[in-house]
Every structure is written in structure tokens, then in C-alpha cells.
Amino acid sequence: MEGKDHLENLSYIRSLMESSTRFISLSGLSGVAAGFWALCGASVIYVLSDGGFNGLAYDQRPFGINTMVFELMVAMAVLALALASGYFFTARKVRSTGAKLWTKASLNLTINLAIPLVAGGVFCLILMYHGMWVLVGPSTLIFYGMGLLNGGKYTRNDIRKLGIVQIMLGLTSLLFLKYTLLFWAFGFGVLHVLYGLYMYFKYDR
């Protein structure tokens, strides 16, 4: 019995140390929601832009808006909805466990995730400025993967694996620019849904 109690104490101490350095309250449902919104956005672009993405279809003007501007607006809407959903589900999970949402670990996660994402956003704006819209889709996948890889030090290691896959997907997309929308939908949509379900059944239930 003493040995069992000793192991339980060690497990408890390890859990406390992990929670103090890593934000482990990310909800798997936030990943599912992000993937859902990404698939919705990709579907809208595919239908209303005649299958185009990143300026590959110039002959369509959805709602009278330039195709490239329309695709950017959809991508921004997807990002806003994904962030809002992620905050909602993660905050709900934090409240259910009695933990705090904003801690040193969650702040470190946010900062380390944001640095590559902000750099990637500026990089994509520069690409747009020079008219290289066709490279924007793959670039978002690559920088997003770098953000997950960088921020993964402050949350569960599973997220780093997702980051590596996103980077590889973005690099592969550069070789097949005609199918950028499919790569984008698979990376931000399908992979997020699968990852979110995996995290939900592994940690949330």
C-alpha cells in the first residue's frame, strides 16, 4: 500500500509541475470547430470563385468583389470564427476544471504561437503587395505549422506533431499550386477535425 501511495504522490507532483509550465487545458473541441470553419470557408471559395484560390481564378467576381480580395475576406472570417470558437471551448473546459485561463503557461503558449503567426501574416501581406497571391496559401500552412511547433513547448506535445505535418503539407503545396485550395482545406480543415477529435477522446473525456 505504501508503494502504491508513493507512486500516486509522485504522479500528483508530476501533474502539478506539468500544469505550472504547460497549458494543458486546450479543448479538443476547439480544434474540431476550427476545422469545421476552415472546411466551410474552402467550400465557399470553391463554389463562388469557380474552384480558384490565391488568384488562380480571375474571371469570377463573387458579389462584385475581386476574386483575390474575396478569398482574403473569407480566410479572415475563418480565422476570426476559429479563434472565437477556440476561446469559447477552452474557457469552458478551464471553468469546468476550476483552473485559470490566463497563467504564465498560457501566456507563454500565446506569445510563442503568435510570433511565427504574426511574421507569417506580414510575409503574406508582402507577397500580396508584390502580386504573388499564388504563394499565400502554402505560406499560411508553413507559418502556422511553425507556430504550432514553437508554441508546443508550452502545451501537450501532440500539437508539435500537428505542426510538423502542417509544414510538410505547405511545402508540398508549393509543388502543386493548382491544388492549393485542396491542400489548404485538408491542412486547416480535415487535419484540425481529426486532431481535435483525437485530443477530445484522449484528454477531455
Given a cut of 70, whether residue 58 has pLDDT beyond it is no
pTM for this predicted structure: 0.80
Q: What is the DSSP code string of the chain?
A: -HHHHHHHHHHHHHHHHHHHHS-----HHHHHHHHHHHHHHHHHHHHHTTT--TTS--S--GGG--HHHHHHHHHHHHHHHHHHHHHHHHHHHHHHHT--SS-HHHHHHHHHHHHHHHHHHHHHHHHHHTT-GGGHHHHHHHHHHHHHHHHGGGS-THHHHHHHHHHHHHHHHTT-GGGHHHHHIIIIIIHHHHHHHHHIIIII-
The average pLDDT across 41-70 equals: 65
- Residue 25's pLDDT band (boundaries 50, 70, 90)? low
The average pLDDT across 25-50 equals: 86
